[in-house]
Amino acid sequence: MTPDQPRVRGEAADGMVVLELGADGDLEVTLDPRVRRLDTDDLAAAIQNAFRDLRTRASALGEDDRAREQRRAAASEALAPARDRLDAAAARASELRRRIHGQRA
């Protein structure tokens, strides 16, 4: 994740257990008061499931970033010939301008 990305959220036990991971690595844990009704094994499982959910969502964000970077790289590669032609045309225009202004001087 990059600093400009939103927090990633994982939930379990019908929203009673919520984990949020910030881009800075801080983990916020929110437990609904209803978790007191869960026994310790169920609470532990809910926390683990919330973490799995968070990890899955964070991974999906990373995949989105990689896909976006791959699209950007492909577009840049596809545009390279056009950029080269534009650079060559700009160089020719500069040379013509220099010649025209050079002839007047």
Question: Using one digit for the tens of pLDDT, what is the confidence trace for 70-98?
Answer: 777 777 777 777 778 888 888 888 888 78
pTM recorded for the entire structure: 0.57
13 located within any domain: yes
Number of domains in the chain: 1
Give the C-alpha separation, 80 to 62, whole Å: 27
For residue 2, is it within any domain? no
Read off the pLDDT of each residue in 22-28 and give the average, rounded to a whole number: 84
Q: For residue 5, what pLDDT is reported? A: 58
The pLDDT of residue 10: 92
User: Tell me, what CATH number does 49's domain have?
Assistant: 3.30.1310.10
What residue numbers bound the domain in which 50 lies? 8-104
* Mean predicted confidence (pLDDT) in 58-81: 77
